[in-house]
Structure 1
């Protein structure tokens, strides 16, 4: 099923295309109203090995192709966040090599049997991971966890949560990762977009977690989180340009069929030029992000380029979805219009995985400007 060429991967792309058109697109509106995707969708995706891409099979470039096809065939970035939350919840477990944790959490998530989420962000510590305050105090064969997390994707449905906790002193050197299964409370959060992706606030009040649930070595969690951030950020760049491409495709279809003053909108020069500018921005963002993804897959050090790719794709997406709504006119403002969904969903892409301002500052430091 998997080929080596990023631009091809024909069998994988067709598989995802068919799955999206049959199992996702017809139901996404209802899932948006429900506030979550059903567990059955995880099982269906697992049945055709989509949840194993990047773990048991395939690589980052296959994940790129998967993400592109889902969004460009009627899915959304919110749907990707909900269905593939294990993509940020289990990489640390998988790379730790701990077979017990892999068998108990990672593999069931890949099989669609369990839903996992990642809990790093706190009310007082967003992109500043080193400032987290949730504590895990060793007590015999357990850690006692106290604190809170917020903006946790799939936090309402999660069967386990890979949680960043403070096991040592202040700063990045005192952070560890623990898999927490139960004993904490959840509060569902309402959002501007990503309506089909449940988001929660988690509260830990002296929750006892077995020491066996420690991911990797104690106090090495910050390094694990930072390593995975590169994949998460480039994936969000893909979500951004793929969303922009979908918005453009929908807009081209709209302006071809929509007539004003006796002529289709696409016959107007100003409209054609807007479409061309949108296509140009998307192609530039896509080409760069794909190249950076290929470099990550090769193991290159490209933190700066990841920052560039995410920011460029996010900016492109913001501009394109805004123009798409404008060209749709009043229909673009209606909930029944797909571009309205993408307009709402696009806003989080410049915040999640590291805010655009953080990406810029990180790049500045890497370039020696600070």
Structure 2
């Protein structure tokens, strides 16, 4: 553990979390991976331990802790080898609840944030649409004001927790002709009349429910508008920095887990009278992979420290996701190779890790889009400023 960022209290939290995951989550993982359904009881157990409230202020029943507690939660979730379960948890806490924490008013926080902290409501985030992912300004879902309500029509896709969740933080056009200035954010109950969900069949993240959602004349109270009309794009862009850093942290953690497992395997697997960790070609390749992981991990910690101080880390978080997810794919691909035929067998962890890792360079902004964002900052000298500035 890097003592530059982690205190003794952090370490105690990590050990407690490890114990909790082994006792309460790991025994159920195979079932959830097979069924694609995470049983509801585990949400309450997470809540009882305070894990949903790490970043939520105490005034709304959270713990108000620094971001390195979040790092620990993300890292340990990656080490139980279910990217889907991990995604369901962090999508609830750091996609849906982040918007409630930052942009919800007191009434909305009491109605949605506090129940989310207590595991009574499960949240999701709805930005991506079937006709466009990274092109947020091009979304087609609309919200039309009628009296004290908005009428929502459109669709969203690739929504984690969209099938079994309780609410969605939904982006929609309130002024379609205004481009990104016409986007607003709403809290929509997923059991509302006119909401329908189609569960998607995925390559990886099998334990999590991922939905394509349709909204057909869904009536939403005007009180469920977050902030003001037209502020949605700003809210989304601000939240992207945290989402991308989270995916970078997830990536270095799963790469570290893959390397630890593979090193143990190589120390036990013998060919021609010696363990395979004694073959120079394999030793040196593993060292290169470990070095790549270590560089990404240290970078991600440094970015976390900056974000925790309040810095607006759009460039750094984008780099984190771009480089860390690419690194994780390469590490896990090679670790599977080190296991030979056993790496291709589902009874060993690398097959699932390979499938789960592949979403890293896609979700939360594809690597191609991230390179263009970084190019605009570095080459075109574009400046991204915090909404309050």
Q: Does 1:79 align with 2:85?
A: yes
2:291 counterpart of 1:280: yes
Per-residue deviation at 1:7?
6.3
- TM-score when scaled to structure 1? 0.96
- Number of corresponding residues: 367
Aligned to 2:385: none
Which range moved further: 124-133 or 7-16? 7-16
Q: Look up the match of 1:176.
A: 184
TM-score, structure 2 normalization = 0.91
Conservation of the 8 A alpha-carbon contact between 1:176 and 1:222:
yes
In the TM superposition, structure 1's runs of 4+ consecutive aligned residues that sit over 6 Å from their partners are none
Displacement of 1:201: 0.4
Q: Shift in Å at residue 174 of structure 1?
A: 0.4
Aligned twin of 1:117: 124
Q: C-alpha deviations, 1:111-139, integer Å up to 9, x for none?
A: 11111101110011201111111000001
For the structure 1 residues 368 and 301, does the alpha-carbon distance in structure 2 shift closer, same or farther, using more than 3 Å as the test? farther
**Distance in structure 2 (CA, Å) of the matches to 1:243 and 1:111:** 28
* Structure-1 separation of matches of 2:90 and 2:245: 15
Q: CA deviation at 1:4?
A: 9.5
Residue in 2 that maps onto 1:308: 319
Match of 2:386 in 1: none
The partner residue of 2:217 within 188, 200, 206 is 206
Determine the C-alpha separation between the residues in 2 that align with 1:322 and 1:189. Answer: 25
CA contact (8 A) 2:197 2:211 kept: yes
| 8 Å Cα contact 1:24/1:75 also seen in 2 | no
List per-residue Cα deviations over 1:204-234 (Å, max 9, x = no partner): 1111111111111111011011111111110
Question: What is the CA–CA distance in structure 2 between the aligned matches of 1:324 and 1:29, rounded to whole Å?
Answer: 22
The answer to whether the Cα contact below 8 Å between 1:135 and 1:147 also exists between their aligned partners in 2 is yes
2:310 is aligned with 1:264:
no
Give yes or no for contact 1:289–1:310 (8 Å, CA) kept in 2: no
Deviation digits for residues 310-340 of structure 1, max 9, x if unmatched?
1111111011000011011111111111111
1:166 aligned onto 2:173: yes
| Match for residue 298 of structure 1 among 309, 317, 323 | 309
- Whether 1:12 aligns to 2:13 is yes
2:207 is paired with a residue of what secondary structure? coil
Partner Cα separation in structure 1 for residue 101 and residue 249 of structure 2? 23
Does residue 31 of the first structure (1) align with residue 39 of the second (2)?
no
Unaligned 5+ residue runs, structure 2? 57-61, 382-389
